Amino acid sequence: MNEYGTKKIVSVTEADAGKRVDVFLSAALGMSRSAVQQLLDASAVQCSGHTVSKSLRTEAGNVFSVQLPPVRECEVLPENIPLDIVYEDEHIVVVNKPQGMVVHPAPGHTEGTLVSALLYHAGSSLSDINGVIRPGIVHRIDRDTSGLIVVAKNNAAHISLAAQLADHSMYRIYSAILRGRIDAAGTVDASIGRHKTDRKKMAVLRDGGRHAVTHYEPIRPLTGHTLCRLKLETGRTHQIRVHMSYIGHPVLGDPVYGGGQTPFEKKHPALFHGQCLHAGEISFVHPASGEQVTFRCDPPQDFMRVLSLLDQE
């Protein structure tokens, strides 16, 4: 467990020389790279009395002094919320998250989260690398997207899964109903960042942003729409929704990025509780066994009903 509120001293050996400082400290401290980067940004990491920049490469003999943040009181409470558990062992739990559920607490969403349900289900048997607000959480999917999330039940599992996310060896496949006709498979390779004028949205950016790649493949045509299979190579916020809107085929039921308020949606409002986007497959190397494991789950009933109706029209 991380020693919050203390100063940690970490030395670099020959074996660790030449590594990026965030990569090295992440492994040495048992923290996520994003958490280490936040410490670097906050000037909480020093070497020989000097603040360390994120671009630094380690050298044998470097001694880093890291001021860890103090423990915060837990701001999220366990809640008895049913979970659709696809798989569970002592290291991981794979959950099929329903539409409408927020993964972890955020402003305006402090109750009814996946984290609250996990705390009730697993208690303290969740990794603590991401702090008290996101115990066990390695990756996320949007509130109004359904599908599979793998959760870490200890820090070793968390580090393994986070590394697989970072090097893209963990893959996630989505099903989506997209507006318009798509006849051929393709790839969107376009950086994503915060929208220039609407800070609640993400957007494809020509300058800046984070590298993002989405592969898409049409599965079958529907009336005015296409059922597609999408594979994420990266995992940026709202990535599929932004990329598909960017190529002119937004996800049906997504008003934020141009897929909502269609004639079909207005005709069948009871079927739409979010976008028609489902994370139906996830594959990764099991943190303990070292074996490749793959988990799948079907889209929710409303998604399947929309498919059926679009087939008939």
What distance in Å separates the CA atoms of residue 3 and residue 29, rounded to the nearest whole number? 9
Write down the pLDDT at residue 38: 87
Strands 45-47 and 63-67: antiparallel
pLDDT for 75 equals: 63
Using CA atoms, how far apart are residues 279 and 96, in angstroms rounded to an integer?
9
User: If we measure between CA atoms, which residue out of 297, 169, 137 comes closest to residue 233?
Assistant: 169
The first and second tokens of residue 112, run together, are: 């009814």
Residue spans of the domains in the chain: they are: 7-67, 85-162, 171-312
pLDDT confidence of residue 34? 79
At 74, the amino acid letter reads C
- How crowded is residue 292: how many other Cβ atoms within 10 Å of its Cβ? 10
Distance CA 104, CA 77 (A): 11
Instruction: Establish whether domains 7-67 and 85-162 are of one fold.
Output: no
- Cβ neighbours around 307 below 10 Å, total: 18
- pLDDT for position 26: 81
pLDDT in the model for residue 241:
97
pLDDT at position 5, please?
A: 58
pLDDT at residue 2, rounded to an integer:
42
Query: Looking at the domain 7-67, which fold is it?
Result: 3.10.290
Local structure of 235: helix, strand or coil: coil
Helices 21-29, 33-41: crossing angle, 10 deg rounding: 120
Q: How far apart are CA 52 and CA 49, in angstroms?
A: 9
Which fold does the domain 85-162 belong to in CATH? Pseudouridine synthase (3.30.2350)
pLDDT at 187: 98
**Full pLDDT tens readout for the chain, 313 residues:** 344 457 889 899 888 899 989 888 887 887 777 788 889 988 899 998 889 988 899 999 999 999 887 645 446 788 999 999 999 999 999 999 999 999 987 766 678 899 999 999 988 788 888 776 788 899 999 999 999 999 999 999 999 999 998 888 999 999 999 999 999 999 999 999 988 888 789 999 988 888 999 999 999 999 999 999 999 998 899 999 999 999 999 999 999 999 888 999 999 999 998 999 999 999 999 999 999 999 999 999 999 999 999 988 7
Active-site residues: which are they?
Answer: 142
Distance CA(179)–CA(246), nearest Å, equals 12
What is the model's pTM? Answer: 0.75
- 284: part of which helix (H) or strand (E)? strand 277-285
Q: What fold does the segment set 171-312 form as a domain?
A: Pseudouridine synthase (3.30.2350)
